[in-house]
Amino acid sequence: MSMTKRGFIRVLGGGAVFAAGAAWAVPRLDAMPEAAIAGWKGPSSDECDTRRRALAWAMLAPNPHNMQPWLVDLSELEFVTLHVDRTRLLPQTDPFGRQITIGHGAFLELLSIAASADGYRAEIAPFPLGTEAGQPVARVHFVRDASLKTDALFAQIPKRRTTRIAFDGRPPSAEHIAALRAISDMPLTIAIEPARVEALRKLAIAGSEFEMSIPRTHKESIDVVRLGAEEIARHRDGISLTGPMMWALRQAGVMTHDKAMTPGTLAWNGGRDYALRGYASAAGFGWFSTDGNTRAIQIAAGRAYARLNLKATELDVAMQPHSQTLQEYPEMAALFADMRRETATGEGRTLQMFFRLGYAGDAGPSPRRPLDAIVMKA
């Protein structure tokens, strides 16, 4: 997530532009650390446990704030038992863990796709002991199946991104919309009519700004922002801000966690402007809702979102979720209701994922921790 050159000049103001010039002269300065994105090359070649090979791919799943809230128990041969890492939740903005569960669904989908590439069927039993907090999310049996073909989406796993940079302003084409609808396991609505897009864009912007205005919800995001290569290498999760321009902002003392928490600072305005530029460039939005909102449905929504994001990758269609106005904390209630109305989400239905769709360059991979960080010790 690096800022554009123009945005950077605006944020820094005249005096520090000189420092920025120095930063641009060194393009690798403060680059994303190689170790933090090594996971995108897939499992190491000497990894022969099929479960671990599939897990290495599953860790690349989209998940809220890149918290990677997964823990796996591999103590039983042929099985992966998936748990929630309860130290990696987002209680302020995701009080019921709906989004965290969606991230688990995405993880299970990638696990299943990757297992197919090794000739294994991943038989997923969601919530085998019920949905009480602390119980496993899924028990997955790896069953050898010689007749199984590699899932066609497997090749897209290392290329998939959440694209936060500005899109080029084109709406998704009719052909791409049809291909996304065809792959979607959930009824998918895509809006590209300018008036509707404008109304949705305004709501998304309002929701993002509103969340930034509430200290406890804004802090939850700022706490997981990783500023610069050193913090990224240390955590390998969260929201990464790196690159030469971010380096110069930090050197100038204007980009710190504290300043990003303080309305009116260059850091706070820069964060808001960055998000708003993304929405301003959106010429299409997509979403799906579900009838009911059980944990199993949330898992299914995550699986559907992962497949959609992978198909979009194949088509070179960029995607970025917007979650603020879908979130269930009390202060968001009015905008939450507006978003339901604008997306025609009916009574009893839950808007699970809402995202902008369009075209952009490669936003680059986001960090992941090593596989052993999620494997439970015996």
Q: Which residues bind ligand FMN (CB under 6 A)?
A: 62-66, 99, 102-103, 106, 161-162, 164, 320-323, 366
> Amino acid letter at 13?
G
Residue closer to ligand FMN (CB basis): 50 or 322: 322
- Smallest gap from Cβ 160 to ligand FMN, in A, equals 7
Q: How far apart are CA 187 and CA 175, in angstroms?
A: 17
CB 276 within 8 A of CB 10: no
CB 197 within 8 A of CB 191: yes
Residue closer to ligand FMN (CB basis): 50 or 309: 309
CB 359 within 8 A of CB 164: no
DSSP tag of 30? T
Token digits of residue 371: 């596989």
DSSP tag of 33? P
Q: Give all strands of the β-sheet with 318-321 in edge-to-edge order.
A: 189-191, 285-291, 349-358, 318-321
- Smallest gap from Cβ 106 to ligand FMN, in A, equals 6
Output the CA torsion sign for 302, 307, 310, 312. negative
- Smallest gap from Cβ 255 to ligand FMN, in A, equals 19
Residue closer to ligand FMN (CB basis): 16 or 137: 137
- Smallest gap from Cβ 145 to ligand FMN, in A, equals 28
- Smallest gap from Cβ 344 to ligand FMN, in A, equals 21
Residue closer to ligand FMN (CB basis): 12 or 220: 220
Token pair 């290569």 in the structure block, residue: 229
Residue closer to ligand FMN (CB basis): 164 or 340: 164
Q: How far apart are CA 335 and CA 163, in angstroms?
A: 24
- Smallest gap from Cβ 114 to ligand FMN, in A, equals 15
Helix 5-12 × helix 244-251 angle, to 10°: 10
Residue closer to ligand FMN (CB basis): 20 or 60: 60
- Nearest one of 274, 281, 349 to 318, comparing CA atoms: 281
- Smallest gap from Cβ 327 to ligand FMN, in A, equals 9
- Smallest gap from Cβ 76 to ligand FMN, in A, equals 27
Residue closer to ligand FMN (CB basis): 33 or 321: 321
Token digits of residue 250: 């930090």
Residue closer to ligand FMN (CB basis): 23 or 164: 164
Q: How far apart are CA 72 and CA 74, in angstroms?
A: 6
Residue closer to ligand FMN (CB basis): 40 or 247: 40
CB 229 within 8 A of CB 31: yes
Token digits of residue 185: 């396991």
DSSP assignment of 290-347 equals EES--HHHHHHHHHHHHHHHHHHHHHT-EEEE--GGG--SGGGHHHHHHHHHHTT--T
* Cα Rg of the chain (Å, integer): 20
- Smallest gap from Cβ 323 to ligand FMN, in A, equals 3
- Smallest gap from Cβ 133 to ligand FMN, in A, equals 18
What backbone phi and psi angles, to 5 degrees, belong to 162? -95, 120
Q: How far apart are CA 321 and CA 302, in angstroms?
A: 12
Token digits of residue 25: 């002269």
Residue closer to ligand FMN (CB basis): 20 or 94: 94
- Containing 355, the helix (H) or strand (E) segment is strand 349-358
